[in-house]
Amino acid sequence: ELLTGSACAAATGTQKIAAALLDRRAGTLNPMAYTSGLAKAASDLGGRLFDHSPVTGLERQGARWSVQTARGAVSAEQVVLASNAYTEGEWTDLRRNFFPGYYYQVASKPLTDDSAKSILPGGQGSWDTRQVLSSIRRDAEGRLLLGSLGNGNQKPTWFLKAWADRVQQHYFPSLKGVEWECTWTGCIAFTPDHLMRLFEPAPGLVAVTGYNGRGVTTGTVVGKAFADYLCHGDANALPIPFSAMQSVPHAGLRSCLYEAGFSLYHAGQCLRIVI
């Protein structure tokens, strides 16, 4: 649905956006709460969850797989590699099939003044179409959340807050004295064509990577599809066919160049050269 003029201003809460596309099928959620809910559901069904126990090795032992960690090993007939951008170690070639990128968020303290109520009153999330995009959303407690591509862990807090001030003052100048409460960064597995990959490198072993920033929803779909495939052996349950593993050329260089571009753009925003 195309929104322009007063309809666009009413939906976004800003006069700085001339037109917007509204997809009423989409929505927002708290990804940490969602993940915790999935973990609880698995636990309630008898699943066992282990954290702070990274895999250090994976090898075939007869008809089963042995998954080794520093704290012990797990033996299983079937294994799913679903660590995506957080795949670590030299024990798997999976991490060579993507190049890592990052996305950071800056959250304000809850906003209570009347001018804040007009920002995304429908509760939607929003993204602009700039060369380096910015995202805008509100949470259930009234915070303003601004985000963009880049590794916030490598930038000082004052820089992130200066960037957030610049974006907030451009889109929502009526807000006064916004205090930025916290910031965090997540890692994204990018692929050159921005499409995910499914792999079956050996019988009983499946893997996925390359969600390209869409892992919450797409990962849920792939998880169910993998479960159906491993239980019933029907490849038609998969959203896309398996493909052969293929290393991304110059993955480290790609990540560095992307990050440099993001940082330069954000610096330009802070200096009011671009917005």
- The tens digit of pLDDT for each residue in 100-116 reads 999 999 999 999 888 89
DSSP-assigned states of every residue in 92-117: -SGGGGSEEEEEEEEEESPP-SGGGG
Structure tokens at 208: 């996925």
Q: Bigger pLDDT: 176 or 58? A: 58
pLDDT at 75: 97
Q: What is the pLDDT of residue 176?
A: 84
pLDDT value of position 53: 92
Q: Which amino acid is present at 236? A: N
% pLDDT > 90, the chain: 92
How far apart (Å, rounded) are the C-alpha atoms in residues 208 and 80? 8
Q: For 257-266, what is the mean pLDDT?
A: 96
CB atoms within 10 A of CB 55: 19
pLDDT tens string 38-67: 999 999 999 999 999 999 999 999 999 999
Give me the DSSP letters along 185-235. Answer: EEEEEE-TTS--EEEEEETTEEEEE--TT-HHHHHHHHHHHHHHHHHH--G
pLDDT at 207 over 90: yes
H/E segment holding residue 42: helix 31-44
The pTM is what? 0.92
The pLDDT value recorded for residue 135 is 96
Mean pLDDT of 155-161: 96
Asked if 268 contacts 134 with a C-beta cutoff of 8 angstroms, the reply is no
- pLDDT exceeds cutoff 90 at 191: yes
pLDDT at 91: 84
Over residues 86-103, the mean pLDDT reads 92
| Closest-CA residue to 204 (of 65, 24, 94, 55) | 65
Q: Residues 144-155, buried b or exposed e (16+ Cβ, 10 A)? A: bbbbbbbbbeeb
**Structural tokens at position 152:** 């916030």
- pLDDT(177) > 90: no
- Is pLDDT at 98 greater than 90 in this prediction? yes
For the chain, percent of residues with pLDDT exceeding 70: 100
Mean pLDDT of the chain: 95
- Whether the pLDDT of residue 200 is over 90: the answer is yes
Which range of 128-132, 174-178, 189-193 scores highest in mean pLDDT? It is 189-193
